[in-house]
């Protein structure tokens, strides 16, 4: 298809330390583009998404609206999009529908299916609100499990059985909580604390990224999407962790997709070092390339402007080593496009360089 093109836009999300995702995509042939929104960030970034779709995509219609996981920094902006634009399909997990299947995980006999469903609707209120709004507007709601097709994108993870195992673990601190406590302390930005951060030396051939990072079950429940856009792979990972990414790679292999051929990759969870490992990145991004080789693919990180933990240099180095140029939002919009019209006033973004020192400890 000669005229086929695509563009992926990462809008800036977040204030202070909180990072989220607000991603708009357009793909197809001129006159017949499909528009997809994957997470909407906060309400503020939801408004930016609406403006972006109207002014840059020239439409008030979103074909597919996808929520990767129920965290507020990913889901709440989608409410604004659903309120202010017309939407063809809403894709969101609805765990409150499965209280009966999940209840055996809870030992407390006083918990009923209905009380558990109510608790989940309350805890995951941003996602539940999307279902409510879609119902009010008569927009069909589907659940994004492995095997589902959303436009030209495949859902690679989670599969329904694993999802039901993850839900009872929601709202819990992951076992690596000592690390996240340290990160939380650092995020206050106190200079004195910052000095306590140890630095580790890295070289092209010396990688210090850990093999055993852990992230929350909510993050692991993130929808992983792969689009084959006229032969070019686009991979979106939400806040998926090592487990979800491993499952996504396995499922992709099953359906004959080689993820390392992707041209565009979202760095998961805002560049956190808890969500990727060297062995996962070897299978997701590709094997390490020769030092100095020109990057063959593009990776984007959605990281809030002030965050000191998003993105991690140990992570951006790991992507660079595997042939991916990394760009991060940090308060700015980032666009990746192929065979699409130029956008006025748009200048090329500078990739993150390789760092010879990364955060240690
Ligand atoms: Zn997030």
- Mean pLDDT, each 10-residue run in order, the chain (361 residues): 92 84 97 97 96 97 98 95 98 95 82 91 95 98 98 98 93 48 44 61 95 95 97 97 98 98 97 97 97 95 90 97 97 95 86 93 66
Cα 139 to averaged position of ligand 1 atoms, centre (Å):
26
CA angle 70, 303, 313 (to 5 degrees): 125
Residues 187, 308: contact at Cβ < 8 Å? yes
What is the widest separation between alpha-carbon atoms in the chain?
62
Calculate the alpha carbon distances from 207 to 14, 246, 287, 317 in Å.
30, 20, 13, 8
Strands 199-201 and 357-359: antiparallel
Q: How many angstroms separate the CA atoms of 37 and 153, rounded?
A: 12
Q: Distance from the CA of 111 to the center of ligand 1, in angstroms?
A: 30
Specify the pLDDT at position 197. 67
Residue 257 C-alpha to ligand 1 middle, in angstroms?
Answer: 26
Distance 234 CA to ligand 1 centre (A): 19
* CA gap 24, 8 in Å, rounded: 6
Per-residue pLDDT, 196: 54
Give the Å distance between the CA of 4 and the centre of ligand 1.
Answer: 31
- Residue from 82, 53, 54 nearest 66 by CA: 82
Q: Collect all residues with Cβ–Cβ distance below 8 Å to 300 and sequence separation of at least 6.
A: 8, 10, 264, 265, 266, 267, 326, 327, 328, 329, 334, 336
CA 45–ligand 1 middle distance (angstroms): 14
Cα of 74 from ligand 1 centre, angstroms = 6
d(CA 100, CA 175) in angstroms, rounded, equals 27
Q: Sign of the C-alpha dihedral, residues 159, 164, 170, 176?
A: negative
- The rounded distance, in Å, linking the Cα atoms of 51 and 53 is 6
Q: Distance, CA 71 to ligand 1 centroid (Å)?
A: 7
The Å distance, Cα 341 to ligand 1 centre, comes to 30
Ligand 1 centroid to Cα of residue 43, in Å, is 14
pLDDT of the residue at 193: 47
Residue with tokens 């929520």: 67
Which pLDDT score, from 0 to 100, does residue 226 have?
98
Residue 18's pLDDT is 83
């Amino acid at each position: 298809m000669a005229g086929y093109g695509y563009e992926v836009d990462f809008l800036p999300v977040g204030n202070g330390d909180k990072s989220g995702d607000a991603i708009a995509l357009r793909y197809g042939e001129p006159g017949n583009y499909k528009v997809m929104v994957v997470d909407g960030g906060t309400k503020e970034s939801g408004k930016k998404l609406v403006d972006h779709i109207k002014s840059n995509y020239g439409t008030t219609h979103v074909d597919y609206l996808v929520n990767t996981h129920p965290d507020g920094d990913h889901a709440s902006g989608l409410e604004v999009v659903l309120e202010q634009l017309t939407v063809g399909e809403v894709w969101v997990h609805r765990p409150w529908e499965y209280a009966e299947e999940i209840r055996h995980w809870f030992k407390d006999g006083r918990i009923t299916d209905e009380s558990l469903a109510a608790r989940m609707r309350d805890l995951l209120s941003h996602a539940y609100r999307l279902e409510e709004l879609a119902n009010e507007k008569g927009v069909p709601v589907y659940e994004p499990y492995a095997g589902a097709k959303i436009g030209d994108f495949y859902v690679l993870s989670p599969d329904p059985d694993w999802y039901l195992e993850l839900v009872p673990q929601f709202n819990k601190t992951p076992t690596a909580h000592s690390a996240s406590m340290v990160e939380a302390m650092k995020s206050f930005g106190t200079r004195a604390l910052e000095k306590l951060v140890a630095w580790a030396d890295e070289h092209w051939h010396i990688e210090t990224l850990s093999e055993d990072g852990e992230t929350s079950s909510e993050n692991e429940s993130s929808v992983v999407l792969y689009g084959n856009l006229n032969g070019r792979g686009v991979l979106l990972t939400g806040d998926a962790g090592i487990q979800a990414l491993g499952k996504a790679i396995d499922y992709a292999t099953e359906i004959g997709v080689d993820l390392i051929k992707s041209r565009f990759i979202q760095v998961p969870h805002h560049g956190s070092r808890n969500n990727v490992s060297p062995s996962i990145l070897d299978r997701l991004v590709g094997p390490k390339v020769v030092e100095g080789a020109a990057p063959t693919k593009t990776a984007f990180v959605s990281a809030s402007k002030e965050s000191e933990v998003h993105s991690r240099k140990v992570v951006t180095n790991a992507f660079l080593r595997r042939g991916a140029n990394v760009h991060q939002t940090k308060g700015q919009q980032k666009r990746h496009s192929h065979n699409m019209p130029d956008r006025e006033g748009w200048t090329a973004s500078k990739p993150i360089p390789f760092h010879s020192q990364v955060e240690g400890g």
